[in-house]
């Protein structure tokens, strides 16, 4: 059809409409050439019905997205959410409650939810959607992404050895090993080979070291290819605080880093907070929303987030938000900016492992070198520290505590350890 050239009015109108559309669409449809780095919130430890969680994966994604998370890794045990999987409805209800299907349908619609068999019959089953199939419904550029991941769940010496591998291309089998340490090493080696052969950034992190008191500080220090571990895991059964004969997870961290910065001369271990969520229907247990990481990156992509974490540009949180964390390598000063809430105060403790002073000939592990109530606390290193880190504790109780008397916290990464 020939365009109508008899009048210029429709053309003008069309141009105006077009121009209007361009003005509205341009800012959200193209990426800024060099966006400013900002903080992105994410949880790197989450279970769904694909292993032992009690919720459909897209419902979990939706839970986090609704609460302003920017990224989530579903980390089911030894499996990725992929392939065809039907789960008997009776098994799903046994794990959750009998309202689960109604809530799933109410959120995603009858035409999305796939069932087979007669309702009420033993054959009645629901299809678990693979990540590649549902991610388009929940992801939104610069708002929310899903990262394919797995909790490699191994055992050795009768103890659980669990390592999360974030941003994997395919599921990795537990590698096994004669000892806990060897099992960690074997799995780490497999993850690093996978990373190399697939040409992608993969983030391995050691989960809940005190779960079954499986992994000691000496094990963690020795497996030097492990750069990340969970300084906080929201599962109530992971012995976060240790007991009479076992150190807390946080004190394990300093012991590991004292060994790494003296005997081994390798970079320190960095700390992640996660949910390890399994229960999404309000039941007691490992509920979502207890621990997360804040990562500073220009782009919300798995590769950029993981690279930022490998640089140490992130912190762990169970409630406290930091507007800024800076370490000035010249002045050796670590400074935090705490995002404050009304009627809440914050205590920041700067923790360092101090070099041996010759007298005792032993470094002093995990010492508090400064305590501050400022909203911009800072610590300038004196030269006798192997590294320094900060932990901020709020006077506000944790929103859903995983242990008694838990207050909201944030943990920054060890700095000041480079030999420059």
Residues that bind Zn ion (CB under 5 A): 151, 162, 207, 276
What interhelical angle do 57-66 and 100-108 show, nearest 10?
60
Q: How far is the CB of 210 from Zn ion (least distance, A)?
A: 11
Residue listed under structure tokens 């959120």: 107
CB of 151 to Zn ion, least distance (A): 5
Phi, psi of 347 (to 5 degrees): -110, 120
Q: Are 364 and 384 in contact (CB under 8 A)?
A: no
Give 177 or 377: the residue with its C-beta nearer to Zn ion: 177
Strands of the sheet with 333-338, listed across from one edge: 322-328, 333-338, 378-380
The rounded distance, in Å, linking the Cα atoms of 72 and 42 is 5
What is the Cα–Cα distance from 126 to 87, expressed in whole angstroms?
5
- Position closest to Zn ion via CB: 162
Query: Minimum CB separation from Zn ion for residue 286, in Å?
Result: 8
Q: How far apart are CA 77 and CA 165, in angstroms?
A: 11
CB of 224 to Zn ion, least distance (A): 22
**Is the CB of 219 or the CB of 276 nearer to Zn ion?**
276
Smallest separation, CB 207 to Zn ion (Å): 5
> What is the Cα gyration radius of the chain?
24
* Alpha carbon distance 175, 186 (integer Å): 6
CB 166 within 8 A of CB 202: yes
Query: How many angstroms separate the CA atoms of 322 and 311, rounded?
Result: 18
Distance in angstroms (rounded) separating the CA atoms of residues 315 and 294: 5
CA angle 341, 69, 145 (to 5 degrees): 160
User: Least distance to Zn ion from the beta carbon of 97, Å?
Assistant: 22
* Alpha carbon distance 250, 396 (integer Å): 20
> Minimum distance from CB of 236 to Zn ion (Å)?
13
First CA to last CA distance, the chain: 72
CB of 415 to Zn ion, least distance (A): 29
């Amino acid at each position: 059809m020939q365009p109508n050239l008899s009048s210029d009015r429709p053309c003008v109108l069309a141009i105006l409409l077009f121009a209007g559309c361009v003005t509205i669409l341009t800012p959200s449809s193209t990426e800024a050439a060099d966006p400013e780095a900002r903080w992105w919130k994410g949880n790197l430890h989450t279970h769904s019905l694909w292993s032992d969680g009690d919720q459909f994966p897209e419902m979990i994604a939706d839970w986090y997205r609704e609460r302003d998370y920017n990224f989530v890794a579903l980390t089911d045990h030894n499996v990725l959410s992929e392939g065809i999987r039907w789960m008997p409805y009776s098994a799903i209800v046994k794990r959750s409650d009998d309202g689960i299907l109604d809530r799933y349908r109410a959120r995603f619609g009858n035409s999305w939810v796939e069932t087979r068999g007669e309702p009420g019959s033993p054959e009645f089953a629901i299809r678990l959607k693979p990540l590649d199939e549902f991610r388009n419904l929940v992801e939104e550029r610069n708002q929310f992404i899903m990262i394919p991941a797995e909790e490699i769940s191994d055992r050795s010496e009768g103890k659980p050895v669990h390592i999360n591998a974030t941003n994997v291309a395919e599921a990795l089998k537990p590698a096994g090993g004669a000892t806990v340490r060897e099992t960690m090493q074997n799995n780490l080696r497999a993850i690093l080979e996978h990373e190399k052969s697939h040409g992608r950034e993969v983030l391995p992190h050691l989960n809940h070291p005190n779960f079954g008191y499986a992994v000691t500080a000496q094990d963690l220090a020795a497996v030097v290819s492990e750069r990340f571990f969970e300084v906080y895991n929201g599962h109530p059964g992971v012995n976060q605080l240790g007991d009479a004969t076992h150190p807390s997870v946080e004190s394990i961290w300093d012991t590991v880093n004292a060994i790494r910065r003296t005997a081994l001369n390798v970079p320190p271990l960095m700390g992640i907070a996660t949910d390890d969520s399994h229960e999404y229907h309000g039941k007691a247990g490992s509920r979502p929303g207890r621990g997360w990481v804040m990562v500073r990156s220009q782009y919300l992509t798995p590769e950029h987030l993981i690279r930022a974490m490998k640089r140490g540009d992130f912190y762990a949180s169970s409630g406290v938000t930091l507007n800024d964390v800076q370490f000035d390598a010249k002045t050796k000063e670590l400074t935090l900016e705490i995002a404050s809430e009304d009627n809440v105060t914050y205590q920041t403790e700067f923790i360092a492992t101090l070099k041996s002073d010759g007298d005792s000939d032993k470094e002093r592990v995990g010492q508090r070198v400064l305590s501050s109530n400022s909203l911009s606390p800072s610590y300038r290193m004196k030269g006798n520290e192997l590294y320094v880190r900060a932990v901020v504790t709020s006077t506000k109780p944790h929103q859903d505590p995983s242990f008694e008397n838990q207050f909201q916290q944030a943990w920054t990464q060890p700095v000041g350890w480079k030999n420059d």
